[in-house]
C-alpha cells in the first residue's frame, strides 16, 4: 500500500477507539449552540465551547452563523434557512466520511464533492394540510469523487458509518462518478 | 391587541397558506448544499440556490461554511463539526419559531435566546461498541425569553410546530425564563 496523503489521521482515531474501550466516561460529549433573536425570523447562532474527554473544551475561535428566510417567505434573507443548516451538516459529514474511509483503505483522493438536495413540501410547516410531512420528504446525495479507486470502494462505508446519514433515513446515493488514474504527483 | 413589532410578517405567511391550498405544486421546494473536500476532514459547503414556487430561486448571496474537527479528534479545527451544524439549524429554527408564534399571538418580544445541548457518546461513531447509538443520545433546549407574556404562551406551540424539532424526538424544553413588564418603548 502506497502512502496516501488525504490528511486524515486515521491512526489517532483508531488509537482513540482503543483508549475509549476502557474509558467510556471520556467518550461522553456535549455539543452546544446558542441562538439569539435579532428581528423577525433572523437570528445569530454562536458556537465555541463543548464538553468532552472529561472536561470543557473550546474551538480555536467562536463562530457566529446568521439564519433567516428569503424574500419569498416575506423575510430579509440575512442568512440561510434553518433547514439548510441541516444540509450543511449532512454534506460536510459525508465529505469527511469519504476522506476518512479513503484514508483508512489507502486510497488517494484528488477531489471530493458531496451534493445534497432536500425535498420539502412547505405545506407541512405552513399547516396547509396535516397529512403533509413537516420536514424533508426525501434527500438525494450525489458524490463526485476523483480518486485512485472506484467510488464504490468508499461510498457504501460512508453510508453505513456516519451519524447524520443514519438520522436522515431516506438518504441514498444517487450517482457515483470517479476516475481511475495512476498516482498523481 | 396592541401592535407588536417583532418583525415577522405573519399576514404574508397566512396569505401564502391560503394560496398554496389551491396550488400544491408551488409548495414543492428543493434545498441544496454542496460540500467540497479541502484536506483531512476539512470541507467547505456552499449554499446559494434552491427551487420553490415553481422556479429556481437564489439567496441574495452565496454563503460558504467551513466544517472540520477539533484537535481532540486529531484535526485542524478549521470550522465547527458537522454535528454542530445540526444544532445551528435546530437553535435558529426554534428562535424563528418563538418570534413567529409571538407575533401571531400579539406578544411583544424584547429578547429571545434558544440554547441547545446535544449529548453524544462518541463510542458510536468510532465503532467502540455497536450497542452505542451513533448520533445524539439526547437534546436539551433552554429558552430565555423576555416578553410581555409568559413563555408558556409561546414555547409549547413552537415545540409542536417546527420542522427540525419534530425530527429530534428527544428534544424537550428544560426551563423557561420570562418576565412580565409593561410595554417597552
Quick one: pLDDT band at residue B173, thresholds 50, 70, 90? very low
pLDDT digits (tens, 9 = 90+) for A112-153: 999 999 999 999 888 898 899 888 888 888 888 888 777 667
Q: Which H or E run contains B160?
A: helix B155-161
Is the pLDDT at B134 greater than 90, yes or no? no
Q: Strand A109-121 to strand B28-39: parallel, antiparallel, or no bridges (unpaired)?
A: antiparallel
Residue A59 · residue A47 · CB < 8 Å: yes
Residues of B in contact with A53 (CB under 8 A): 72
A64: pLDDT strictly greater than 50: yes
Of A97-111, A167-181, B9-23, B81-95, the least confident: A167-181
Q: Which residue has cell 425564563?
A: B177
A9, A63, A74 member nearest B13 (Cβ): A74
Task: DSSP letter for A183, please.
Answer: P
CB atoms within 10 A of CB A100: 23
Chain B 5-64, CB below 8 Å of chain A: which residues? Answer: 6-9, 12-13, 16-17, 20-21, 24, 27-37, 39-43, 45, 47, 50, 52-53, 57, 59-60, 63
Angle between the N-to-C axes of helices A82-104 and B82-104, in degrees from 0 to 180, rounded to the nearest 10: 170
What's this model's pTM, rounded to 2 decimal places? 0.88
Out of A154-158, B137-141, B142-146, least confident range: A154-158
Higher pLDDT, B109 or B172: B109
- pLDDT of res. B178: 45
Q: Does B88 contact A at CB distance below 8 Å?
A: yes
Residue in the block written with cell 439569539: A36
CA dihedral over B19, A123, A85, B168, signed as positive or negative: positive
A43 forms beta bridges with A37, A67
Is residue B29's pLDDT more than 70?
yes
Q: Shortest CB distance from A17 goes to which of B85, B99, B126?
A: B126
Q: Regarding predicted confidence, which is higher, B140 or A176?
A: B140
What is the CA angle A137-B143-A31, rounded to 5?
65
- How far apart are alpha carbons B123 and A35 in whole angstroms? 28
Q: Which DSSP letter does residue A22 get?
A: T
- What 3-state DSSP class applies to A175? strand
Q: How far is A149 from chain B (nearest CA, A)?
A: 17
CA angle A22, A23, A24 (to 5 degrees): 110
Q: Cell 486515521 belongs to which residue?
A: A10
Handedness of CA B136, A157, A47, B31 (dihedral sign): negative
Rounded to whole angstroms, what are the CA distances from A131 to A121, A123, A124, B14, B23? 11, 9, 8, 18, 16
User: Which position has the grid cell 460540500?
Assistant: B35
R_g of chain A computed on alpha carbons: 20
Q: What is the pLDDT of residue B155?
A: 72
* Cα–Cα distance measured from residue A6 to residue A145, given in angstroms and rounded to the nearest whole number: 13
Share of chain A above pLDDT 70, in %: 81
Verify whether the Cβ–Cβ distance B113 to A35 is below 8 Å: yes
In total, chain A counts a number of residues equal to 185
CA distance A148 to A109: 7
| Interface contact B29-A81, CB threshold 8 A | no
CA distance B94 to chain A (A): 8
Q: Any idea what DSSP says for residue A80?
A: B
Amino acid at each position: 500500500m502506497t502512502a496516501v496523503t488525504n490528511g486524515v489521521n486515521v491512526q489517532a482515531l483508531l488509537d482513540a477507539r482503543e483508549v475509549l474501550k476502557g474509558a467510556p466516561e471520556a467518550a461522553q460529549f456535549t455539543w452546544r449552540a446558542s441562538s439569539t433573536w435579532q428581528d423577525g425570523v433572523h437570528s445569530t447562532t454562536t458556537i465555541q465551547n463543548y464538553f468532552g474527554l472529561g472536561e470543557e473544551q473550546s474551538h480555536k475561535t467562536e463562530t457566529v452563523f446568521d439564519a433567516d428566510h428569503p424574500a419569498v417567505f416575506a423575510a430579509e434573507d440575512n442568512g440561510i434557512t434553518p433547514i439548510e443548516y441541516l444540509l450543511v451538516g449532512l454534506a460536510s459529514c459525508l465529505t469527511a466520511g469519504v476522506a476518512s474511509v479513503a484514508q483508512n483503505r489507502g486510497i488517494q483522493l484528488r477531489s471530493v464533492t458531496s451534493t445534497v438536495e432536500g425535498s420539502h413540501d412547505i405545506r407541512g410547516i405552513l399547516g396547509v394540510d396535516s397529512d403533509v410531512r413537516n420536514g424533508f420528504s426525501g434527500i438525494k446525495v450525489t458524490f463526485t469523487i476523483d480518486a485512485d479507486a472506484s467510488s464504490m470502494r468508499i461510498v457504501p462505508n460512508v453510508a453505513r458509518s456516519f451519524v447524520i446519514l443514519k438520522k436522515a433515513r431516506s438518504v441514498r446515493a444517487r450517482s457515483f462518478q470517479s476516475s481511475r488514474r495512476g498516482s498523481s504527483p
